[in-house]
Structure 1
Amino acid sequence: MLFLCTRENYTAEELFKIKQLRQIVEKSEELQIGTDETFLTKFLYYTHWDTFKAYQAIHAYYDFKLKHPTWMAHHPIQYYSKVFNATQCRFIMPQTDKNGRVLVIFKTVDAFQQFPDYLQHLIEMDDLIFESLLMLPRVQQNGITVICDLQGTTRNFLRQFSPSFMKIVNEKNGILPFSQRIVHIIQRGFLMHVTSSLFLPFMNKEFKERIFTHDGRHLNKLRDMVGFDSLPAEYGGPATNVLDTSLMLNHLNQNADYLEKIQSYKKRIL
């Protein structure tokens, strides 16, 4: 099941690593975080079950949160529901891509006039979405595939994309504990090419190698890489694969308590 949040069996070695990381975290005077299994294993999978590197990754994550608190969600799910429903720009597919990665679709939808603090809402919504996905054992193990559809990009978006903004985007990409992230950018027209050319220079080499661009009119490569059966209909998949925001919103709502709890996790300066 795609949204199954518990894993049935760990090996003896994995259980030892979970216990070891828990003990290290609990001894830390700086980290004010939980040590539940779901939380710890997302960092262990990310670091290929290297306990020391997982501990470093946790510190890096909360160093970023300490430095850039506005780039993390700070409200319950209900706070974002109006923007989420009005924009219809964040989706998850009910089946994985052909490589077993959970498939999510992000669209650029201009709602700056409707929501004055729209960009901040998007930043926090995406943080919630990523955290909710990282709860899933399938995501912890296999990672995610993201289709970024930039065809709705307007000049209102471009005004927000300063070099300092792009640097923080890259910095956050570097601390998100996904074991693998494949990104497909769909673009068409001048503004879309400007958008991707603004983002890419700030991405690190490793992340750039996992980014693939596609012309919005020719999606054969996208279909080959993701798999026909997994793609939404509007990107060349089966006609029955209709994008539906309720799948993502239901997943967020079902895990609302946990997602709100981890928002309080932090690192303190001694």
Structure 2
Amino acid sequence: MLFLRSQEEHTAEELFKIKQLRQLVEKSDELQVGTDEIFLTKFLHYTNWDTLRAYQAIHAYYDFKQKHPTWMAQHPIQYYAKLFYATHCRFVMPQTDKHGRVLVIFKTVDAFQQFPDYLQHLIEMDDLIFESMLMLPRVQRHGITVICDLQGTTRNFLRQFSPMFMKIVNEKNTVLPFKQRMVHIIQRGFLMHVTSSLFLPFMNKDFKEHIFTHDGRHLNKLRDMVGIDCLPAEYGGPASNVLDTNLIFNHLSQNADYLEQLQRYKKR
């Protein structure tokens, strides 16, 4: 099952490193975070099971949160329900891509008139989605594939993308503990090159190497890289692959207690 959360079988060495990291976190005078296995292993997978680097990665993540608290989800899951169902712009596919990575799809849908704080809500929704994905052992092991469909980008979006905004996007991308993240950007029309020119210059070199752009009229490269079976029908996948907001929102709701607990984690 896509959202299987059963604990992984760990080697003796891995169990030792989980114990090591737990002890480091518990001894920290600054970190006010949990020490459950899922929390610790997402940072251990991210750093190829280097305990010290994993500990440093936890600090880096919560340094970012301390510096930019509004870039993290701050409300109960149900707070975001209206936005999820009014915009239908965030999805997860029921099948993994051909490399075993969970496939998430973000669409640009202009809802600025309906939601005055729309961009802030999107930032928080995306934080919830990423945190919920990082709970999954398969995501911790294999990473995630994100399709950013920018074909709905309007000037209302472009007005938000200041250099400072893009700098913070890059900062958060740097601390998110995904072992691997492949990003496919779909663009089309007069804003096709504008959006790329806004985003890409601010991305660090390592992350930029995993970003691929696609013309919305020609998606053969996307189908080849990701696999056809997992793609929505509108991108050339099977007709039965219909984008369904319920799949991602139900996943968030089922894990609401844990996700809301994560919101309380911080550094002193």
TM range (shorter): over 0.9
1:53-202 equivalences in 2 (<5 Å): 53-202=53-202
Post-superposition Cα deviations, 1:113-156, rounded to whole Å, max 9, x if no partner, equal 00000000000000000000000000000000000000000000
**Structure 2: runs of 5 or more not aligned:** none
Cα contact 1:34–1:265 (8 A) shared by 2:
yes
Residue 51 of structure 2 corresponds to: 51
Q: Distance in 1 between matches of 2:7 and 2:258?
A: 17
**TM-superposed deviation, 1:191:** 1.4
Cα contact 1:22–1:40 (8 A) shared by 2:
yes
Q: Residue 24 in 1 paired to residue 46 in 2?
A: no
1:128 maps to a residue whose letter is: L
Post-superposition Cα deviations, 1:47-84, rounded to whole Å, max 9, x if no partner, equal 00000000000000000000000000110101110011
Q: Distance in 1 between matches of 2:244 and 2:151?
A: 18
Q: Distance in 1 between matches of 2:23 and 2:56?
A: 14
Runs of 4+ residues over 6 Å off in structure 1: none
**TM-superposed deviation, 1:197:** 1.1
Query: Sequence identity, in percent?
Result: 85
Residue 259 of structure 1 corresponds to: 259
1:83 maps to a residue whose letter is: L
**TM-superposed deviation, 1:195:** 1.2
Residue 207 of structure 2 corresponds to: 207
Q: Residue 3 in 1 paired to residue 8 in 2?
A: no
Cα contact 2:219–2:235 (8 A) shared by 1:
yes
**TM-superposed deviation, 1:9:** 1.1
**TM-superposed deviation, 1:15:** 0.5
Q: TM-score w.r.t. structure 1 length?
A: 0.98
1:238 alignment partner, SS class = coil
Cα contact 1:186–1:215 (8 A) shared by 2:
yes
Q: Distance in 2 between matches of 1:7 and 1:182?
A: 25
**TM-superposed deviation, 1:254:** 0.4
Residue 240 of structure 2 corresponds to: 240
Cα contact 2:185–2:214 (8 A) shared by 1:
yes
Q: Distance in 2 between matches of 1:171 and 1:74?
A: 19
Aligned length in residues: 268
**Structure 1: runs of 5 or more not aligned:** none
**TM-superposed deviation, 1:5:** 1.2
**Alignment root-mean-square deviation, CA:** 0.6
Q: Distance in 2 between matches of 1:195 and 1:140?
A: 30
1:151 maps to a residue whose letter is: Q
Cα contact 2:134–2:178 (8 A) shared by 1:
yes
Cα contact 2:8–2:137 (8 A) shared by 1:
no
Cα contact 1:25–1:35 (8 A) shared by 2:
yes
Q: Distance in 1 between matches of 2:193 and 2:236?
A: 21
1:186 maps to a residue whose letter is: I
Q: Distance in 2 between matches of 1:245 and 1:93?
A: 10
Q: Distance in 2 between matches of 1:83 and 1:214?
A: 27
Q: Distance in 1 between matches of 2:225 and 2:57?
A: 29
